């Protein structure tokens, strides 16, 4: 049996990729922060969109962006944190995986 044709193997590889991509968290050191995760709870405001990015550990980061994220899709967001540390003001929003239908 060819392992690359095994659907369970392919599902495991896809799940591992999603977990690695969604748990990616970094700080570039220049005042910019970043987080990757699944977009949830998208709400439109008069200036943009407020949403949560949930990483693989279940931790949620509240974000504000001018661009509308697709709920359920995996994104990587970069930007600066608010003074009180409760909101990430997104300067760059990159789609990693589209939402499943």
pLDDT given for residue 8 in this prediction: 77
Range of the domain at 20: 3-97
What pLDDT is recorded for position 30? 53
Residue with tokens 């697709």: 70
What is the maximum span of the chain, computed from C-alpha positions, in angstroms?
A: 56
Three-class SS state of 46: coil
**Cβ count near 81 (within 10 Å):** 16
- pTM for this prediction: 0.67
Count of structural domains within the chain:
1
pLDDT in the model for residue 22: 58
DSSP string, 51-92: EEEE-TTS-EEEEEESSPPPTT-EEEEEEEE-TTSS-EEEEE
Which residues does the chain have with pLDDT short of 50? Answer: 26-28
pLDDT at 89: 94
The rounded distance, in Å, linking the Cα atoms of 39 and 96 is 11
Task: Indicate which CATH number applies to the domain containing 44.
Answer: 2.40.50.140
Q: What is the pLDDT of residue 76?
A: 92
Residue 40: predicted pLDDT = 93
The pLDDT, as a whole number, for residue 85 is 85
């Amino acid at each position: 049996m060819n392992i690359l044709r095994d659907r369970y193997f392919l599902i495991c590889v896809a799940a591992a990729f999603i977990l690695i991509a969604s748990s990616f968290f970094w700080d570039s050191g220049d005042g910019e922060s970043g987080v990757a995760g699944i977009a949830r709870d998208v709400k439109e405001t008069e200036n943009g969109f407020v949403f949560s990015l949930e990483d693989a550990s279940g931790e949620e980061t509240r974000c504000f962006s001018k661009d509308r994220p697709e709920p359920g899709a995996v994104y990587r967001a970069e930007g600066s944190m608010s003074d009180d540390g409760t909101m990430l003001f997104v300067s760059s929003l990159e789609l990693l995986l589209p939402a499943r239908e």
